Amino acid sequence: MQDRRTALLAFTAIAAAATLPADLASAQRPGAKPPRLRRGDTVGLIKPASFVAEDFDLQLAMEAVSAMGLVPKAAPHLLARYGYLAGRDEQRAADVNAMYADDSVRAVLAVRGGWGSARILPHLNFDVIRANPKLLIGYSDITALHLAFAARAGFPTIHGPNAGSPWGKLSWDWFKSLVFDGETPTYRNPIATEDRLVQRDWRTQTIRPGKAVGRLLGGNLTVLTALMGTPYLPSFDGAILFLEDVDEAEYRIDRMLTQLALAGVLRRVAGVVFGQCTNCRGTGPSYGGFTVSQVLRQHLQPLGVPAFAGALFGHVDDQFSLPVGARAEIDATMGRIRILEPVVG
């Protein structure tokens, strides 16, 4: 076991960086863009939330990065563990700070989500992060970092697969188009290959038709609502809000959307896209209860803005790579998301 852990760490040049307190100022660098990725670039691997139980899973994540033509560089504390977390808060934050201070690292990729990213926000050095624009890539609990970066760093990040995700062809093609090729893709769920007269898989549902333009902001609904009332949430004025979740009963989705409504977030957005809500079904008696689809309509239809559900992002094997903080247009009638600007320089 120790030999395997030592071999994994051999992927990295271990360079520790001191954890500095986050700057409370919210100054941004308008127009700053991270560099696009090219074959041979070094990508930093971090675990800002939960630990990975199996060393082999970490090996698979590193092999996936290598298969992209990139060079994985493990953060100094990548193998640390503290309870259900991947090391103490200060260690996980130090890894993020180190990757943004390291000139050899071109982008930063989370190995997995889980829980814990919000705990490190007070320990992040946003002066260093803001001065070194690099793509942060990941989803689920990584939403806490995406939103904090949108509020405090001023450059786009990528809500997309983690390093430990399956990385099927669809996920890879969407990611490559955005991050390697510097394109402005249009995302629309693929046509399913099921043998049916009417497609059932990967369908989108229009909640309110129309088009809207705004800055893409959002991610995991549970994580987003947990940041309410903190200084790490960006302004949602005129934004395209995108949301997803997993393992939440219908009433919990209702409760969290109610919180966003009561906090004034929903009435400020220009449009809404709800992605996948995987395993979002209560375990108790369901007769007479609301479905997730009904809950979404109750909250989103009265907003009077374009909204649709079922887009292919969230806790699914294949998912879009959505640039958090970038301008996009949604077509709720057609179930499309069109990126309006390159997110890499």
Distances (CA, A) of 8 to 4, 42, 261: 6, 16, 46
pLDDT < 50 positions in the chain = 1-29
pLDDT value of residue 16: 31
pLDDT value of residue 73: 98
Q: Is this model's pTM higher than 0.85 or not?
A: yes
With tokens 């987003």, the residue in question is 224
The beta-strand segments (E) located in the chain are 42-46, 71-74, 105-110, 135-138, 157-159, 186-188, 205-208, 211-220, 240-246, 271-278, 307-309, 322-324, 327-331, 336-339
Residues serving a catalytic function are 140, 244, 315
All domains in the chain, ordered by first residue = 2-167 (3.40.50.10740), 186-339 (3.50.30.60)
- pLDDT tens, position by position, 43-57: 999 999 999 988 899
Which structure tokens are listed for 86?
A: 């991947």
pLDDT value of residue 288: 66
pLDDT value of residue 337: 98
CB 341: neighbour CB atoms within 10 A?
11
pLDDT value of residue 88: 98
- Spacing of C-alpha 10 from chain mean position: 28
Q: 192-230: buried (b, 16+ CB within 10 Å) or exposed (e) per residue?
A: eeeeeeeeeebebebbbeeebebbbbbbbbbbbbbbeee
Number of Cα atoms under 13 Å in the Cβ half of residue 5: 11
